[in-house]
Amino acid sequence: MRHTISVLVENKFGVLARVSGMFSGRGFNIDSLNVAPTHDAGLSRITAVLMGDDSSLDLCIKQLRKLVNVVEVVDFTEGQAVVRELVLIKVKADAKTRAEIMQISDIFRTKIVNVSQDSVIIEMTGDDGKVAAFLSLVEPFGILELARTGALAQKR
């Protein structure tokens, strides 16, 4: 089962290693991992998307809460959070295909951030479904490079 976890931690050396080690030690595969500072300079938020069973997740959350530098742990159930991801996609685009790529980009409300002779770089945000749908439409043009942030989540 897929789980989205948010862990608020103190900005201390080694905290990320201990948190990710807790996930892997409990048999979870980490699909995405995102770490960034919050509005408070002393805190960071770790957002992880994990694959694993519910009973292991409960034990993992209890053990995460016992870690010294962990302030808060939240397991988002389906529909309880807004989940988004940022993706940068470099797509092969010549003079003939550029207009079609731009039209697809407009439909998905993406932003073209760079145009060159033979490619465009597109910035998009959205949930997994939106990202997958967009990628399937631009894949026939040729994806040259792809960078994804991983999921970010915030409680509704």
Model pTM?
A: 0.82
Question: What is the domain extent for residue 107?
Answer: 82-155
Query: Is the four-CA dihedral 47, 48, 53, 55 of positive or negative sign?
Result: negative
CATH of the domain at 11: 3.30.70.260
3-state secondary structure 83-137: EEEEEEEEEECCCCCHHHHHHHHHHCCCEEEEECCCEEEEEEEECHHHHHHHHHH
Residues 9, 63, single domain; the answer is: yes
Please report, in tens digits, the pLDDT of each residue of the chain (156 residues total). 788 899 999 999 999 998 888 888 877 788 899 999 999 999 999 999 888 788 878 888 888 999 889 999 998 877 788 999 999 999 999 999 999 999 999 999 999 999 999 999 999 999 989 999 999 999 999 999 999 998 999 888
82 token code pair: 């807004």
Residues 8, 73, single domain; the answer is: yes
Residues 7, 55, single domain; the answer is: yes
Burial of 104 (0-12, 13-18, 19+ CB in 10 A): middle
| Backbone region of residue 142 per phi and psi (left: phi > 0; alpha: psi in -120 to 50; beta: other values) | left
Q: Contact at 8 Å (CB) between 64 and 44?
A: no
Residues 74, 86, single domain; the answer is: no
Q: Count of domains in the chain?
A: 2
Residue finishing a domain among 78, 109, 140 = 78
